Amino acid sequence: MNKKITILAIETTCDDTAISIVEYNNNNFNIISNLISSQIKDHNPFGGVVPELASRIHIKNIIPVLDKNITDLKKYYKSEKNTFEILRENIDYIAITNKGGGLIGSQVVGVETAKTLSFLLDKPIVSINHIRAHILASFFNFNDDKNSGTIENISFPIIALTISGGHTQLVLIKDFSTWEIIGKTTDDAAGECFDKIAKLLDLGYPGGPIISKLAENGNPESIKFPRPMINSKDLNFSFSGLKTAVLYHFNELKESEKKDEQIISNICASSQQAIIDVLSKKSLDAIEKYTPGLFILAGGVAANKRLRETLKNEVKKYNTEFLMPEIPLCMDNALMVNIAAYFNILNNVDIFDYKSIKSNINRTI
């Protein structure tokens, strides 16, 4: 792309209200604003996201987050112009996650905000698939300041493993227009398994980071939890059996053992290792089958340090390049939506007017 463009991107598919503004110029980028309003404290008492509560909080947060982005935009251009003028003059596209998964009530808040901005500013909307956005976040190559950098070149074919509370998928990307799910969970997603194990152990929410932290002091070989479908002939996953095995193991403990920090750490380390073993085995099976030049690890669970280290080391053995987003970009955020919009614009796909955009939570790619 040989011209400078600026994209305002919105992400509200689950429980984070996120908006970013990024300026692109010949594959270089500058982050003008990147803000997230988290709802973790609101959902923590329930041990997971409550959909109706999430959508109500999005309604409360979306305008204040947008206002802060606009303030950052004015500072960036050192402008005293009013909100409408500064947006109209400096924003070229509005991007919104409106497909690929999520909670319908949450997603609608972001979609309607994007449509309103598109109408008022007379700017096109870029439609973004949530799962693709997680994957494409890997292509940010940051400078030391973490606010600027370059966009990595894409070389096909690509295998991507996307893992979070809502999805666990292996995706084959033959070119920018050809995305195919080649493996998926038949029941619980890996992130959902982490969350449910954490809830069982009364550790809090979200479960993944808590289990990962406690696992550092545990022995991953102490408990032989099952690795569901690890030797199946397909590339699909299953984690419900592992969750059940942890439940049975925990119920067999004495009451004093259930409060023993070392025992809990061992359960965390062993269950985490079971999940990592399955994810790694299936990923390597996919690499052997499709021989991609690039493997991408993405999604919220991609923030797990042991998983990142394991897959990075294993993938290298296959002479395959490895990419993953920086840890803050693994969770839902608006920067991933922004770069996905950049690639859509570059390839002239999924660009609409405000009348053509609708919400869709089907987990398609």
Same domain, 205 and 264: yes
Whether residue 317 is contained in a domain is answered as no
Within 8 A by CB and 6+ apart from 232, the residues are: none
Same domain, 77 and 188: no
Same domain, 145 and 176: no
- Please report the pLDDT score of residue 360 as a whole number: 86
Element (H, E) at 281: helix 261-290
Strand, coil or helix: what is 110? helix
- Please report the pLDDT score of residue 108 as a whole number: 96
- Please report the pLDDT score of residue 2 as a whole number: 63
Element (H, E) at 321: strand 321-323
Cα 230 from Cα 264, distance rounded (Å)? 25
**90 DSSP 8-state letter:** H
Domain that holds residue 226: 158-292
Whether residue 12 is contained in a domain is answered as yes
Cα 162 from Cα 166, distance rounded (Å)? 10
Same domain, 167 and 240: yes
Whether residue 254 is contained in a domain is answered as yes
Strand, coil or helix: what is 190? helix
Q: In a structure prediction context, what are the per-residue pLDDT tens digits for the chain, which is 365 residues long?
A: 668 999 999 999 999 999 999 999 989 999 999 999 999 999 988 888 999 999 999 999 999 999 999 999 999 999 989 999 999 999 999 999 999 888 999 999 999 999 999 999 999 999 999 999 999 999 999 999 999 999 998 889 999 999 998 889 999 999 999 999 999 999 999 999 999 999 999 999 889 999 999 999 999 999 999 999 999 999 999 999 999 999 999 999 999 999 999 999 999 999 999 999 999 999 999 999 999 999 999 999 999 999 999 999 999 999 999 999 999 999 999 999 999 999 999 999 999 999 999 888 877 88
Same domain, 138 and 201: no
Same domain, 177 and 233: yes
Following CA atoms 159, 160, 166, 168 in sequence, which dihedral angle do they give, to the nearest 10 degrees?
50
Same domain, 170 and 148: no
Element (H, E) at 83: helix 83-90
Cα 105 from Cα 98, distance rounded (Å)? 11
Same domain, 67 and 16: yes
How many domains, the chain?
2
Cα 121 from Cα 62, distance rounded (Å)? 18
C-alpha dihedral sign at 44, 49, 52, 56:
positive
Whether residue 321 is contained in a domain is answered as no
Whether residue 298 is contained in a domain is answered as no
Same domain, 135 and 58: yes
C-alpha dihedral sign at 297, 298, 303, 304:
negative
127: closest CA among 336, 327, 344? 344
Whether residue 84 is contained in a domain is answered as yes
Same domain, 111 and 200: no
Phi and psi at residue 175, to the nearest 5°: -160, 180
Q: Structure tokens of 143?
A: 């400078």
57: closest CA among 3, 109, 114? 109
- Please report the pLDDT score of residue 1 as a whole number: 61
Whether residue 301 is contained in a domain is answered as no
Strand, coil or helix: what is 357? coil
pTM over 0.85: yes
Same domain, 129 and 180: no
Domain containing residue 111: CATH number: 3.30.420.40
Same domain, 146 and 218: no
Q: Rounded to whole angstroms, what are the CA distances from 273 to 203, 261, 315? A: 18, 18, 17
Strand, coil or helix: what is 174? strand
